[in-house]
């Protein structure tokens, strides 16, 4: 299994997939290998792979997005690594999945940050919200990506291998300077105990604990802070095209989901019950 994963990663790197994409592909591929741990996966046929995906959909109840990740990873192994002409596109889900993202109100974000007693943790969550970052983008940030002269933050080689630049808020700069003086990171902006990247799991855990402490009963994650950033920008009148660029979305369709949360016309609609 280790050899297969090593080959898998090597080709992903040669094809210049981003770090976060490689992690996603590898996690999906590892699950596939574990399912067939006593079988030579290289000799599987399409029907066997189809049965596996059927098991994952019906028994494991995987999401549409995870099904796409699995198919993409499996397809990459057979077609790109092994060079087999195996057509697997028919295994992608035909129906999409529309879910309204979990968003914290501005009052809730303020409450979260105000009750974050650890300076480093506060700086982490404030950076995610202030810049609209994915968790992997946060943990990959380096000190040199923060430019106080131009008041910008550069997110390098994120999803789709694209760099982007976002605004550095004055409040965030003050907070980061205080954090820097106390913790003195050397390379990455937020480092773990061994001076490497701060772990994504630790970021998720610190927010989870804060939500429980504050009794904010939303099934939110760190990614919800990114959703909140986008929603609050649109609510204050920022053009959705600018929000698209700030979030690093490839398509405007992805960004338009936030307009479902901010449409003032819908908010003015009265239920017929109130007219009785």
In the set 121, 122, 134, 164, the catalytic residue is: 134
Q: Give the bridge partners for 142, in sequence order.
A: 188
Instruction: Choose the catalytic residue: 197, 226, 227, 232.
Output: 226
**Rounded alpha-carbon distances, angstroms, from residue 89 to 29, 66, 67, 79, 109:** 16, 15, 12, 11, 41
121 is annotated as an active-site residue: no
Active site residue 223: yes
Q: Are 19 and 137 in contact (CB under 8 A)?
A: no
In whole angstroms, how far apart are CA 39 and each of 35, 42, 76, 87, 211?
9, 9, 19, 21, 44
| 3-class secondary structure, 44 | coil
Give the Cα separation of 125 and 131 in Å (integer). Answer: 10
CA distances (Å), origin 155, targets 9, 127, 132: 23, 12, 11
Residue 134 bears catalytic tag: yes
90 is a catalytic site residue:
no
156, 219 Cβ separation under 8 angstroms: no
8 Å CB contact between 135 and 259? no
Establish whether 267 is a catalytic residue.
Answer: no
* CA-CA-CA-CA torsion sign (170, 163, 139, 32): positive
The residue from 227, 232, 244, 249 that is catalytic is 249
- Active-site residue (options: 121, 122, 159, 164): 159
**Among 129, 223, 135, 123, residue whose Cα is nearest residue 173:** 123
Structure tokens given for 32 = 């596939």
213 tagged catalytic: no
Residue 222 neighbours by CB distance under 10 Å: 21
Catalytic sites, residue numbers: 134, 159, 223, 226, 249, 258
């Amino acid at each position: 299994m280790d050899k297969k994963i090593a080959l898998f990663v090597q080709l992903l790197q040669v094809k210049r997939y981003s770090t976060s994409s490689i992690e996603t592909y590898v996690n999906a591929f590892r699950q596939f290998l574990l399912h067939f741990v006593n079988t030579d996966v290289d000799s599987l046929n399409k029907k066997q792979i189809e049965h596996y995906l059927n098991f994952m959909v019906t028994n494991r109840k995987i999401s549409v997005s995870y099904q796409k990740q699995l198919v993409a990873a499996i397809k990459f192994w057979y077609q790109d690594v092994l060079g087999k002409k195996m057509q697997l596109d028919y295994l992608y889900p035909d129906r999409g999945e529309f879910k309204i993202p979990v968003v914290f109100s501005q009052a809730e974000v303020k409450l979260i940050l105000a009750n974050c007693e650890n300076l480093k943790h506060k700086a982490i969550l404030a950076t995610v919200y202030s810049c609209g970052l994915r968790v992997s983008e946060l943990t990959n940030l380096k000190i040199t990506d923060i430019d106080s002269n131009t008041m910008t933050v550069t997110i390098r080689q994120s999803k789709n291998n694209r760099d982007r630049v976002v605004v550095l808020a004055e409040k965030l700069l003050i907070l980061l300077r205080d954090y820097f003086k106390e913790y003195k990171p050397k390379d990455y902006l937020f480092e773990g105990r061994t001076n490497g990247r701060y772990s994504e799991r630790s970021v998720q855990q610190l927010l989870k604990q804060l939500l429980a402490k504050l009794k904010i009963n939303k099934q939110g994650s760190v990614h919800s802070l990114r959703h909140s950033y986008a929603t609050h920008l649109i609510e204050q009148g920022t053009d959705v095209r600018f929000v698209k660029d700030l979030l690093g979305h490839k398509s405007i369709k992805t960004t338009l989901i936030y307009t479902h949360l901010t449409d003032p016309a819908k908010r003015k609609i009265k239920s017929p019950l109130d007219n009785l």
